[in-house]
Structure 1
């Protein structure tokens, strides 16, 4: 079997990758939503892939892996890797999780991820109302994650929140979100945590997406202040999101200063850049994203390495779309006992639910997702239904 074409079309908010072969099999991968600018970056890998056997996933990835980078650019390489695994599974007639060593669980646990309502404000009562709404949702999530501090609008909505620069037009997401947090800002965040825990109790766990952008002393003070609330984790306080580097030494100081679990990893590309975080016990939880790290094989390697160092695993995935959900389900079915849950991605536009074939009507039940048993990653796109969302330049995407 040989690859005859690599295609990429923007459908809605997502670049979709389609690898075509001379035997009629094809594979699909999905780039995270809003990253439509990555379409030409995906397509520049075309010549490197033509003529290769797509079932030799690692051999193909060796040709292109070094051209990726930290988020967002690793997303292009990752989507191609997902499409290769999709073909490999179809060629073998088995779900991809079988090719990764087989399942260790029959259902995969998830947390709310992109299932959240648009918050009405950044006051404690707004946060309390949000988690109350989440508890009422049919998915019955075991845990919810909420954004605070620089991963919210607090720096703009709470007067005197921090001593950093406040700039409405920062250019890129998170670029100007950093600085020393004031006592007022600190107390406001603590009040929001208390308000949420009063609603959640011990029935539903709470994690906080915090940044990045914190200064280390602030991060240590806050992590210690919330210890008694038994949070699942504090995420991306120092680096993370779109920050193209890691600071393991600072994370290790933060981690060793508190009993609150510290989490990072969504933006990191390749296993090599997790090595120091894991081997120095710099965090308690890591959250690589299969749509950013370089693919599902990279994520599995990192999970196994973390397991050997007693570090927990909670993969990121909120923006990955419904095809990206297939990749998350398959790889997380194979992960070791350090696995907690992955961040659930929903459809970025409601009509995606009419395009994707292979998902049940109710995907999440009691915070669990069933495995996908169809060959490959288990999902497909209804080409006829999707054509109306294609731009003229992508008219031949499904041919």
Structure 2
């Protein structure tokens, strides 16, 4: 790709150690779960401080198309459930949460609900959730593709019951059934069979949000979740900051030997991004959580890492970027499932980091990274917001790095470029 391409963003270089306070918008994972639960609840509710980004706007649009009232009220979303109905068309974009969470609700609608999305979303696996919904009594037409586009033929109700599912490629398959399962006639019991489920914190987040709404969930047996049938209570909810989106900003403090504080970091949370605290600590940063937020101070030299990232795979792109700047090799393990994310993240990382001069090798379940000097080049994102984050972090210390399609960050962070530039302008003033 030549430098004449119009969508290349010259990543800014940090002229000194970054010194900034950063406020991260709301969590995509919490916002989209809260919207689904509010749509299926027994009365109106408010989702406060939601993330407003492509993935969450697509979720709000999907629910509106099914007859749910989702109104903007002073930056919050007021949700009024109604009888779900088709015909409806749902645009999933590149949002796995929309493509996977909405069909288990759409089976409760009366009428046909058609789902499609971006070209890359048509490549992402859907088979486990579609097979599970058919087993539980739903009717779905996908011409045998196990992928988008597809049509859910809603009957106005769903028998439910017990289902076996292989969720080893995505925890979203389990969360999707949990979110709607209380509205099924017999509830739902999910038995996971196969390799370990990745990103378990996301399932724990789903279970916690269900229990907060009075739904009975039994997860006492390994790889089994039971949701009793019953109402989902309408509750107002405040959305936490998206801690995974804090990764590039904290990494900025790490790679420049500076200080970054992420404001309003929650004391307790089930978000996978909370593990950045310990992971960046292992890489040499000093990290402290207090009432103001999470403050990271970067080290003089970045340590290598040998870590299983199975439960926090979405953090891998930024961690891999930081690892290329370490003083010793890093081994990132347990992340084979990233091959089925927005793009094949392992292939994308190994290709793009190598383009900058990194010594990186893809393994069966991860990446091996041996540091060596990096140089500028075009860093491609593959329409993946977390790849763009990784490139921006490296651009702080690698001159002449250009990121293709930085706009893809709008998937979960509407003004990433503005926030990044503001962080560096504070650095200049410090």
- The TM-score bracket by the shorter chain reads 0.3 to 0.5
- The normalised TM-score by structure 1 is 0.34
Higher RCO structure, 1 or 2 (CA under 8 Å, sep 6+):
1
- The normalised TM-score by structure 2 is 0.32
> Which has more strand, going by share of residues?
2
